[in-house]
Structure 1
Amino acid sequence: MKVYISNYLSRSISIIDYSTLELEKEIYFNESIYPHHFCIDKDEGLIYIPSSSNGILYVVSLDTKKIVDSISIGGNLSQIMLYNNEIFISNEDSNSIYIIDKKDLTPIGIIGVDNMPHGFKFDIQTKKLYVPCINSIVCIDLLTKEVVRKIDVDFKAWHISIDKKKKEIYTSTLDGKIIILDKDTLEVKKILEGFLLPVEISFNYMENKFYVTDLGYKNVKILDYPTGKYLGYINVCGIPQGLEVSKDERLLFVSDTQKNCIKVYETCSNMLIKEIKVGKEPTTIVCV
């Protein structure tokens, strides 16, 4: 398994070997590409990077480390995912989700949503895409490409995570809250407070807890999974942003945008076991 990290200011992708926790390689890009969100096509050996600076989607070879294709979409591109040979990209400027054919990068369609769709998450069980927008949550059917559900809310939704065990979704907000919603109805079930600027949310079912990077308090909050009760925090001693629990749930990866490193913690003890130097302003972490 590999751990991929986007480094926004150094315009690069770092690749860490999971078994050794050593930096394996760094892929540098030209002046146009500022990677924030990205996705990996492991079978094809490709990275898809939407650049918010110029509205272009770049396709980069993991083997040659070079751009092999691109398409100009325009706008402030953000989150990206692959599904069924299709690429889904959120565009904050046009308040929409763009759909691109993976094979030849031709446009398939555009789905209009609400204001500033920054992050989104795909639910593999129901084949639905959940999109947090400012003051609403939108659910899109990936087969019909239609909005099938929407709920207006009085909080500023930002990032979102799917609970794989319960029929729930968790969204962080710019208002300093974590909102738990019913996945089917989008009704609000619980509101968790005590955050300043929560960003990413990751679940650890083995340890029965979940984590939230709090950019405002500069720590990682630890909460009880069954109840949502606050258990404590990890003092990052930097600025945490990206967050990912390893597939075996033994390790927690946190990107520190202040010290330009990935901090690795044991989930059983919350102890820091390694700091891995990467590029400038590491943000998104993907374990594949």
Structure 2
Amino acid sequence: MNNRLIVANAGNDTLTLVDLKNKYEIENIFLNNICRNRERVNIFSMNRPCIGPHHIIKGSNDSIIYTANSYDNSVFKIDINKKTVIDTVYVGSCPKHLELLNGCIFVTNTDSNSVSVIDEKEFILLENIPVGEKPHDIKINNSENLIYVANSSGYSLSLIYLDSNKIDEIRLKFNPFHIIINKDKVYILCPQSNGTMQSIIQILDIKDNILLTELKVEGVILDMVVIEDTDILYTTNAFDGFLYKINIEKKNILEKYYLGGMPNCMLYNGDDLLFISDALKNCVTVFDYKKGKIIKNISVGLEPNGLILV
């Protein structure tokens, strides 16, 4: 049972811990204060964050999480129960997203055009793999031991085959930002690009990477969630502050729910709730998609991005 939500706040170098079983009680952890062997920096006197946690994943050990720190060019290993940064690995420039597979942590480095590979047990950097221009998101196809990387300025996906160490590229008409792998399909979110006023969601067949369909949505779509065993997809629109419920098969918007602010990243709890970070209001919205209503707006740190349940 996941009893806590953890939010990465890039704007003030914090993690917000939300107790989902205790009236959404929150605790903010300043990363600079829990780092070992690190000189403490007063970010308020600097008027800017210096770590910039962007994305979080759970480790193999239930008490361990990892953060990709975009301003610090690092990955933190954190014992979330002890609230301590155990160790740090420096990677490429501007790390954004992480994934864990077969004892290795894979990290996209947006400004280095690479993916760093970290040994999880030893917590050391093993190698940097060159990919396309401005890699942002990264996702795992576990059945094929395959990694997908969204090159956000390269009009492409990089495919890293771990069994053969082969790297392929899928060319796209639009710049990809986020990826979802759901059963036999790959969903690719492409925000506004090429001078258009639309965001594009492309859906590929996972076996042969053939384009199956393409959804066009007005506005700046920043993230998406596919509801298991349905044709329903939810997206956040940062332009108008709405959450969209979309029928994938019919390619139409079924419902629009006004959230306000600048809804950004999304997390699905696998049951009835969506957690949606808001980079303008500095909150996380808890949305019951089955009832179609907001349950709670939780105040968190500045510029919330990554979300995980533990």
* TM-score over 0.5 (shorter chain): yes
CA–CA distance in 2 between the matches of 1:127 and 1:172? 22
Corresponding residue for 1:159? 178
- Structure 2 gaps of 5+ residues are 33-40, 42-49, 194-198
Instruction: After TM superposition, give the deviation of residue 272 of structure 1 in Å.
Output: 0.8
Where 2:172 maps in the other structure, the secondary structure is strand
- Which of residues 74, 81, 92 is equivalent to 2:99? 81
CA distance in 1, matches of 2:268, 2:81: 26
Of 19, 26, 29, the match for 1:27: 29
Query: What's the offset of the Cα at 1:160?
Result: 0.9
Do 1:150 and 1:186's aligned partners in 2 also have CA atoms closer than 8 Å?
A: no
| 3-state secondary structure, aligned to 1:230 | strand
Q: Which moved more, 1:39-48 or 1:208-217?
A: 39-48
Residue 42 (structure 1) shift: 6.0
In 1, the alpha carbon distance for the partners of 2:276 and 2:100 equals 24
Counterparts of 2:142 and 2:249, CA distance in 1: 22
1:287 aligns with 2:306: no
**Could you list the runs of 5+ residues in structure 1 that have no partner in the other structure?**
none
The match for 2:242 is: 219
CA distance in 2, matches of 1:121, 1:130: 5
Are 1:253 and 2:275 an aligned pair? yes
Amino acid at match of 2:10: Y
Distance 1:70 1:278, change over 3 A: same
Tell me if the contact between 1:247 and 1:287 (Cα under 8 Å) persists in the aligned partners: no
Q: 1:49 aligns with which of 61, 67, 71?
A: 67
The residue number in structure 2 matching 1:11 is 13
Mean Cα deviation higher: 276-285 or 225-234: 225-234
| 1:220-258 per-position Cα deviation (integer Å, ceiling 9, x unaligned) | 21111443322122211111001111122x111111122
Compute the displacement of 1:88 (Å): 0.4
Contact 2:56-2:307 within 8 A present in 1 as well: no
Change (3 A) 1:44 1:206: closer
Q: What is the match of residue 142 of structure 1?
A: 162
Which string of whole-angstrom CA distances, capped at 9 and with x for unpartnered residues, describes residues 22-81 of structure 1?
A: 134322112532111121226251221221113122222212222211122231111111
Select the residue among 103, 112, 128 that pairs with 1:110: 128
Cα distance change on mapping 1:199 and 1:142 into 2, 3 Å: farther
Rounded to whole Å, the distance in 2 between the matches of 1:177 and 1:274 is: 29
Counterpart in 2 of 1:236? 259
The residue identity in structure 2 corresponding to 1:282 is P
Q: Partner of 1:70 in structure 2?
A: 88
Give secondary structure in 2 for the equivalent of 1:177. strand
Q: Say what the alpha-carbon RMSD is for the aligned residues.
A: 1.9
Structure-2 separation of matches of 1:13 and 1:268: 29
- Amino acid in structure 2 at the alignment position of 1:118: H
Per the normalisation by structure 1, the TM-score is 0.91
* Count of paired positions: 284
Work out whether residues 240 and 260 of structure 2, in 8 Å CA contact, stay in contact via their aligned partners in 1. Answer: no
Distance 1:142 1:230 in 2: 38
